[in-house]
Structure 1
Amino acid sequence: MGVWIWKESLATKMVLIAVLILVLLCQSVSSAHSINCTIYDDPLPIFHEFYQPGDLVIGEIVSHIFLLHDSPSFRELPTEKLIDERFSVPKHYQNILALVFAVKEINENPSILPNITLGFHVLSGYYLAKITYKATLSLLSTHNKFIPNFRCDTQKKLIAVIGSRLTEIYASMATTLTNYKIPQFTYESFTPAHGDKILFPSMYEMVPSEVFQYMGVIQLLHHFNWTWIGLLAVDDDNGDKFLQTAMPLLSRNRICYDFILRTPKRTDTDDLIDQLLNLMEKYPVLVNSKANACFIYGLSTSMYTLRMLLGIAQESSLPPLSKVWIITSQWVFESVSLQRVWDTQIFHGAISFTVHSSQPPGFQNFLQLIKPSWAKGDGFIQDFWEQAFDCSFKHSDEREESKKPCTGEEQLESLPGTLFEMSMTGQSYNVYNAAHAVAHVLHALYTLHFKSRAPVQQREWRLQNLEPWQLHHFLRSIPFNNSAGDTVSFDEHGELRAGFDVTNWVTFSNNSFARVKVGRLDPQAPPRDTLILHEDQIVWHRSFNQVVPHSLCNDPCHPGYRKEKKEGEKFCCYNCAPCPEGMISDHKDMDACIKCSKDRYPNKGQNECFPRTLSFLSFKEDLGIIFTVMALSFSVSTSLVLATFMKHQDTPIVKANNRNLSYLLLISLLFCFLCSLLFIGQPGKLTCLLRQTAFGIIFSVALSSVLAKTITVVLAFMATKPGSRARKWLGKRMANSLVLSCTSVQSSFCTLWLSTSPPSPHADTNSLNGIIILECNEGSAVMFYIVLGYMGFLAIVSFTVAFLARKLPDSFNEAKFITFSMLVFCSVWLCFVPTYLSTKGKYMVAVEIFSILASSAGLLVCIFSPKCYIIVLRPKLNVREHIIKRNN
C-alpha cells in the first residue's frame, strides 16, 4: 500500500471537496436533473404519519401500538432545516412495513385477540429532539388537540411504543413515557449514554446488550490474531461512551488501536461539508496504517458520511483502502438517495454482528403487493417511492419537474439492496417481534380476565380499561413463538434473550449485496462456545486474494523467538528476540519463552520439545551384556578356585599363610564380582542404597584379608629368629582381629552415610541434551569419597607391607604376589577417579563397574593363579618334602 500525503492548502482543499461533492451528487441523477437545496417557508405539519385504526368488537376505535419512525419525509421538513431530499433513506421504510405485516398477521390469526382488530400509529421524528418530544406529548393528549397530560376522550389510549435506539433525540421521549410506565421497545441497541438503564424501567430491548457485541468483537479479533486495529466512532455522546468502554476492554485483551477517527453525526449539508473537510485530512491515516481491521461504531446514519468520504477519495484518484470493516449491529448496509450509484466494493468482505433475524412466511409476498396507493393512511409511501425509484409524482413544485414520473407499477425487487431489501432485516424483525409481544400480552390479559370473571361481567371488559403498567409483568414472564419459528422472551431486565448472527457482506458491481451467515454469537452459551465462526465461508476483500489478512503492528515472532518490548511504543509493537538456551517458544508471538518439562528437551530451532530418551546401563545393551558376562565369568572362576582350595585344603600350599584368610578373600572376591551387577539396570531405591555401601564393605573385607596375609608373612619370618617375641602374634586370632577391625571402620562409614544422606534414584535432565540420565544420586559426595579413600588407604598399606616383604626367604612367599596385585589395584583406582569425574550417565557407571571387575580380577589372578597352577598342574611340587628340600 503506497503512502499518500495531503499537501494542498486549506483553500484548495475546500474547493476540491466542494467540487467533488457536486460531482458525486450529479452522478446520482441524470444530466437533465437539477440539484436544489431549498428552504421551505410554508406552514408544515408537526409530523409525518401513518395511521390505521383498529376496530373493537363493540365498535369503538383504539390505537394500541405507536411506532416512532426515524427516517423523515423530507418533503415536509421543519422550516429551520436545510437538507436536500436526496439525503433520505428509503430502506427504513421496511420497518413500517414490518409493523403493518405483523398487525395484519395478528388480526388474521383467530387464536390471538379474537373478535378484536388491532391498530397502529406511525410517526416520524425527523432526527430532531424537539420534534420527537412534541410527537410524544401529542400521544399523551386528546386526539387532534395538543394539550399535554390532558385527555377528555377514551377512544384512543397509548399502550406501547416502538422506537429507535436511545440517543439524545429519543432520550426525552423515553424519560416522558417512563413517567407513565408505558412499555417502550427499542428495535436498535440500547446505549445508556444519557443515563443508567435503571432510569428507564419500562424499556424493553429487542437487541441484546452492546456489551455482548464488544466481547464478540474481542473474540473475533483473537480468532484471527488481529492485535493492531483502527477505531471509527460517531462523533456524539454514544461514540464517546463506546470509546470509554471499548478502549480499556481492548487493552485488557492485549489488543491495541492505531488510530481513532470520529465520523460526523447526522447534520445538515453545510456542517457535513465542514466535517468531511476535517475528515479528509485524516484520510492518510487510514491509507498508511498497518491496521487492516477497523472496528466501526455508530448509527446507520454514520455510514452515509463514511461512504461519502470513501467516495470522494475514490473519485479523487487517492490511494484505495483495503480494510476489513468490523461493524456492530446498529449499522445497516444502506444508502441515502444520492448514493444509489456509488460503488459499494469498498465494503466487500465486511463482517458485522447483525441482529438475529428469520423470515416470517408470506412477508416477501406481502412486499410484492405494495403499491403507492395501497393504503390511504400511509403518509410515507409516496416519499419512499420517489426516493427509491428516483421518480416523481405530479406536484406543483418545480424541482420535481426534472424527474421522470412515477407510474406506481415499479417493482420493489428491482431495487439494489442498499436502498431496499426483500428479505426482512434485523431491525424490521425486531419491530415485527415487538408488535407480536404486545399482542400476546394483550391476549394473555384478555384471557385472564375472561377466566376470572363471571359471564355477566365478561362483556363489561374493554381494552380501553387497561393501564400500561399492567403489561410489564406479562412481558417479562410470557415467552411466545412467532410465525418464523423463533422463541421470543425477555429476561428480568427487559433484555431480549437472543444472540447475534455473524454476517459476511458480499458486494457486487451492480450495488447489490448478499448476506452470508458465517457464525453465531450466543451470550447464553458456555464461554468457549459463545462465538462460533465458520472461517472457510468468509469472503475477504478482493485485495487480500482470499487469504486471511494480517492486522498487526509488526510481523509476528515465529516459534523459537519471544516478544521484546519497544521502548516508547504500545505493547502490540515489539521486536523478536531468540529464546535463551534451553528454552523454547512453540507458538507465534509468545511473550516469554518456556522450559520443556523434565521428560522433554528443546530442539535445535528452540520451537518444539522432543521426548527425552532414558539413559542407564541396561542389561540388554552391548556394554551391559559384556559387563554381565565378565562379572559372571569371574564369579565362576572364583568359585572354581575356592572349590579347588577346599578340595586340597590339607596340602602345604593351601595351608601356607593362613588357609582361612584365603577362603575369606576368595569369598569376598566372589561377592565383589557379583556386586558389580547392582550397577547394571535401571536404578531403584534398593539398588541405590546397596550399590556403593555393599561395594565398599565387601572390598574392605578383601583388602583387610590381603593386609592380614601380608602381615602374617612378615610375622612368620620374624618368628623364625631365635628369641623373637613375634611368635606370640602368630595365629588365627591376630588375622581375624585385623580383618574385623578394618571392616568395622568401613561399616561405620557406610552406616553414617545411610543414616545422614543416603543415595537415591535421580533423573538428570541437565547434563546431556535430549537425554534423561537415570542414576543414583550419591546423597553425600563427601561420604562417597571417604569410603573410596578408606579402601585406597587399605590398599596402600597392603602394598607397602607387601613390597617390603617381597624378598623374604620362603618357598611360597605370597608377599611378592600381593605386591603385584596391590600394584594393579592401586593403578586401577587411581585411574578411576579422574575418569569417573569426566564422564556422564551410564558411562560413569561403566567406569566404576570396570574398576571393580579389573581390581578384583587383579587380586584373583595375581594371588591365586600361581597356587592354582601348582595345585592343578604341578601337584608334585605341592608336597612337604619338596618344600623342605627347597628350604635347605
Structure 2
Amino acid sequence: NILYYTNIYFISMQWASGDSSVPASVCSLPCQTGERKKVVKGVLCCWHCERCEGYHYQASEFTCQLCPYEQRPDQNRTGCQPIPIIKLEWHSPWAVAPIFIAILGILATTFVVVTFVRHNDTPIVRASGREMSYVLLTGIFLCYVTTFPMIAAPGLAVCSFRRIFLGLGMCFSYAALLTKTNRIHRIFEQGKRSVAAPRFISPASQLVITFSLISVQLMGVFVWFVADPPHTIVDYGEQRTQDPENARGVLKCDISDLSLICSLGYSILLMVTCTVYAIKTRGVPETFNEAKPIGFTMYTTCIIWLAFIPIFFGTAQSAERMYIQTATLTVSLSLSASVSLGMLYMPKVYIIILHPEQNVPKCKRSFKAIVTAATMTNKLSQLASERPNGEVKTELCESVDNSSEYRCLLYHNHCLRYTYIHLFI
C-alpha cells in the first residue's frame, strides 16, 4: 500500500519545468564531445560543461589545449588537423583581369617590334633612335611578362623569376627614357653656349649609359640572391580568422613588403629623375625626339604609381590581401607599360602603316647653313615678316638620323626659339 500511494504521489507532482517525469538524481550531466568539465569549487562531483573555443581542442576530460600554429581543431574538437593551404589560381577573378591585360600588351608590343624591324631604315624609325627604342620596347615587354610569374604557383623557379623580373622591366624602360631625356637636355643646354656637340650623344654612348643604369638593378638582385636565397613560405597569419573553419595558409614567395620596396625603389627613382628631365625639356619643339610624348608618359606613369602605393599598402590587414596586392602590382606594371607603348610608339606605327607618305626625312640642311642661320636671326625675322599674311612655316626635326639630329637641334636652339624658318620656299 505504501508503494501504491507513493507512486500516485509522484505521478501527481508537477515540477518547475512543467514536466511530470522525475529529474535525474545527479549534480551534473556528462559533457558532450569537444567540451571540458569545469569543476564547481568545493563540490568535486559537480561541474559545468565548457566548450573549447577558438583554436583550442579537448585534450582531456578537464582541459582544452591550443593547436599548433599551422593547425586548427577538427570538427569534433577532439584533435587538430592541418590548416588548408591556398594560392592565387589562374582562374581566379583577381588573376583573369591582369592576365588579359598582359596578353593584350604582349601582342601589341610584338606588333610594334615587328613593324619597327620591317621598317628599320625608314626616317621615322631612325628619328626615334632605333637602338634606344628596342631597349625601351624590351622593358615594356618585360613589364607585361612579369604578370605571369607573379600569378604562377610559388616555387623555387617562380620565386627566382619574381625577384629578377619584378623591377627589371621598369628599369629597362625608365633607364632608356632617362638616357633619352638627359641627352635632349644636354644638347639644348650645350647649344645655348656653343655650336660644339656635347659628349656621349652617339648611339653607342647612349647604350652604354643605359645598360650601366640597368646593371645597378641586376647587381642589387644578385646581392639579394646571395644574401637570402629564394624560397617559399606558408603564411598562416595572413588569413588566420576568428573562426578556425575559415582559416587558411597562404603559399607565397619570401618577398616581404620591404624587399618589394627595395626592388621597385631603384626603378621608381629612375622614373622620378626621368620626369624631372621631361619637365626641363618641355620647351623643345613639339614632338621633337619624343620630348613632349615622353613628358606626358612620365606624368601619367607617376599618377599610376601614386595610386598604387595607398592601394597596395592600405590593404595589408585585409583578408583578401594576397589577391588585391598581386592584382594591383601586376595591373600597375601593365598600365605603366601601356602608357609608354601607346604614347611613344602607337603614333609612329600609325604613320608607318596608314600614312607612309609622311614617313619621309624633313631636315636636310647642311651644318654650315644651320650655323650661318644661327647668326642671322634679324634677317630671318625680316624674311618671315615678308611672307604672305605673316605666315611662317615651321617644321620639326623628327625624321633624321643621329648625325644630323644634333645639327637640327642647334638650328632650333639658335633660330627663333628652336623653330625652322624656310629661306628658299
What TM-score results when the alignment is normalised by the length of structure 2? 0.70
Structure 2: 5+ residue runs without aligned partners? 8-20, 366-393, 396-419
Q: CA shift at 1:791, angstroms?
A: 1.5
Q: 2:360 aligns with which of 863, 879, 884?
A: 879
1:592 counterpart = 2:68:
no
The answer (yes or no) to whether the contact 1:758–1:779 under 8 Å persists in 2 is: no
Q: What does residue 642 of structure 1 align with?
A: 113
The answer (yes or no) to whether the contact 1:749–1:783 under 8 Å persists in 2 is: no
CA-to-aligned-CA distance 1:799-848 (integer Å, 9 cap, x gap): 11112212212553412211222222222222222222215122321121
Q: Quick one: structure 1 residues 655 and 582, their matched pair in 2 at CA, closer, same or farther if it must change by over 3 Å?
A: same
Q: Where do 1:569-580 residues align within 5 Å?
A: 569-570=43-44, 573-580=46-53
1:689 counterpart = 2:165:
no
- The residue identity in structure 2 corresponding to 1:554 is S
> 2: distance between equivalents of 1:630 and 1:662?
22
1:748 counterpart = 2:229:
no
Q: What does residue 564 of structure 1 align with?
A: 38
Q: CA shift at 1:873, angstroms?
A: 2.4
Q: 1:555 aligns with which of 20, 29, 34?
A: 29
Q: What does residue 852 of structure 1 align with?
A: 333
The answer (yes or no) to whether the contact 2:154–2:253 under 8 Å persists in 1 is: no
Q: SS of 2:272's equivalent?
A: helix
Q: CA shift at 1:870, angstroms?
A: 2.2
> 1: distance between equivalents of 2:344 and 2:135?
13
Q: What does residue 272 of structure 2 align with?
A: 796
> 2: distance between equivalents of 1:842 and 1:609?
28
> 2: distance between equivalents of 1:771 and 1:779?
22
Q: CA shift at 1:552, angstroms?
A: 6.6
Q: SS of 1:776's equivalent?
A: strand
1:582 counterpart = 2:93:
no
Q: 2:177 aligns with which of 697, 706, 711?
A: 706
> 2: distance between equivalents of 1:829 and 1:616?
26
Structure 1: 5+ residue runs without aligned partners? 1-312, 319-543
> 1: distance between equivalents of 2:347 and 2:115?
13
> 2: distance between equivalents of 1:617 and 1:883?
57
Q: SS of 2:199's equivalent?
A: helix
> 2: distance between equivalents of 1:564 and 1:580?
14
- The residue identity in structure 2 corresponding to 1:702 is S
Q: CA shift at 1:647, angstroms?
A: 1.8
Q: What does residue 822 of structure 1 align with?
A: 298
The answer (yes or no) to whether the contact 2:85–2:248 under 8 Å persists in 1 is: yes
> 1: distance between equivalents of 2:364 and 2:350?
16
The answer (yes or no) to whether the contact 2:238–2:250 under 8 Å persists in 1 is: no
> 1: distance between equivalents of 2:263 and 2:296?
23
Q: CA shift at 1:673, angstroms?
A: 0.9
Q: 2:137 aligns with which of 656, 666, 669?
A: 666
> 2: distance between equivalents of 1:828 and 1:580?
45
- The residue identity in structure 2 corresponding to 1:728 is R
Q: Quick one: structure 1 residues 315 and 618, their matched pair in 2 at CA, closer, same or farther if it must change by over 3 Å?
A: closer
The structure where helix makes up a greater share of residues is 2
Q: Where do 1:18-417 residues align within 5 Å?
A: none
The answer (yes or no) to whether the contact 1:718–1:724 under 8 Å persists in 2 is: no
Q: Where do 1:435-514 residues align within 5 Å?
A: none
Q: CA shift at 1:560, angstroms?
A: 5.4
Q: Tell me which of the two structures has the higher relative contact order, counting C-alpha pairs closer than 8 angstroms and 6 or more residues apart.
A: 2
> 1: distance between equivalents of 2:73 and 2:300?
42
> 1: distance between equivalents of 2:190 and 2:118?
29
The answer (yes or no) to whether the contact 1:708–1:739 under 8 Å persists in 2 is: yes
Q: Which structure's CA Rg is the greater one?
A: 1
1:652 counterpart = 2:128:
no
Query: Identity of paired residues, percent?
Result: 26
Q: SS of 1:727's equivalent?
A: coil
> 1: distance between equivalents of 2:306 and 2:135?
25
> 2: distance between equivalents of 1:801 and 1:673?
26
Q: What does residue 864 of structure 1 align with?
A: 345
Q: Quick one: structure 1 residues 728 and 767, their matched pair in 2 at CA, closer, same or farther if it must change by over 3 Å?
A: closer
> 2: distance between equivalents of 1:779 and 1:868?
39
> 2: distance between equivalents of 1:643 and 1:563?
76
> 1: distance between equivalents of 2:208 and 2:229?
29
> 1: distance between equivalents of 2:142 and 2:201?
28
- The residue identity in structure 2 corresponding to 1:714 is H
> 1: distance between equivalents of 2:132 and 2:280?
20
1:835 counterpart = 2:344:
no
- The residue identity in structure 1 corresponding to 2:334 is L
1:675 counterpart = 2:152:
no
The answer (yes or no) to whether the contact 1:675–1:695 under 8 Å persists in 2 is: yes
The answer (yes or no) to whether the contact 2:40–2:46 under 8 Å persists in 1 is: yes
> 2: distance between equivalents of 1:883 and 1:811?
18
Q: CA shift at 1:582, angstroms?
A: 3.4
> 2: distance between equivalents of 1:683 and 1:820?
37
CA-to-aligned-CA distance 1:294-313 (integer Å, 9 cap, x gap): xxxxxxxxxxxxxxxxxxx9
How many positions carry a matched residue from both structures?
A: 349
1:716 counterpart = 2:197:
no
Q: CA shift at 1:858, angstroms?
A: 1.5
The answer (yes or no) to whether the contact 1:765–1:772 under 8 Å persists in 2 is: yes
Q: Quick one: structure 1 residues 763 and 553, their matched pair in 2 at CA, closer, same or farther if it must change by over 3 Å?
A: farther
The answer (yes or no) to whether the contact 2:39–2:46 under 8 Å persists in 1 is: yes
Q: What does residue 233 of structure 2 align with?
A: 762
The answer (yes or no) to whether the contact 2:186–2:198 under 8 Å persists in 1 is: yes
Q: What does residue 401 of structure 2 align with?
A: none
Q: What does residue 376 of structure 2 align with?
A: none
- The residue identity in structure 2 corresponding to 1:760 is H
Q: CA shift at 1:677, angstroms?
A: 0.6
Q: What does residue 34 of structure 1 align with?
A: none
Q: Quick one: structure 1 residues 773 and 816, their matched pair in 2 at CA, closer, same or farther if it must change by over 3 Å?
A: farther
Name the Cα RMSD after superposition.
3.8
Q: Quick one: structure 1 residues 705 and 592, their matched pair in 2 at CA, closer, same or farther if it must change by over 3 Å?
A: same
> 2: distance between equivalents of 1:733 and 1:690?
29
The answer (yes or no) to whether the contact 1:759–1:777 under 8 Å persists in 2 is: yes
Q: Quick one: structure 1 residues 811 and 597, their matched pair in 2 at CA, closer, same or farther if it must change by over 3 Å?
A: closer
The answer (yes or no) to whether the contact 1:682–1:774 under 8 Å persists in 2 is: no
The answer (yes or no) to whether the contact 1:675–1:691 under 8 Å persists in 2 is: yes
CA-to-aligned-CA distance 1:434-462 (integer Å, 9 cap, x gap): xxxxxxxxxxxxxxxxxxxxxxxxxxxxx
Q: Quick one: structure 1 residues 648 and 552, their matched pair in 2 at CA, closer, same or farther if it must change by over 3 Å?
A: farther
Q: CA shift at 1:639, angstroms?
A: 0.9
The answer (yes or no) to whether the contact 1:683–1:761 under 8 Å persists in 2 is: yes
> 2: distance between equivalents of 1:700 and 1:763?
30
The answer (yes or no) to whether the contact 2:85–2:251 under 8 Å persists in 1 is: no
The answer (yes or no) to whether the contact 1:561–1:593 under 8 Å persists in 2 is: no
> 1: distance between equivalents of 2:67 and 2:46?
25
> 2: distance between equivalents of 1:704 and 1:608?
57
What TM-score results when the alignment is normalised by the length of structure 1? 0.35
> 2: distance between equivalents of 1:740 and 1:666?
14
Q: Quick one: structure 1 residues 568 and 600, their matched pair in 2 at CA, closer, same or farther if it must change by over 3 Å?
A: closer
> 1: distance between equivalents of 2:261 and 2:153?
23
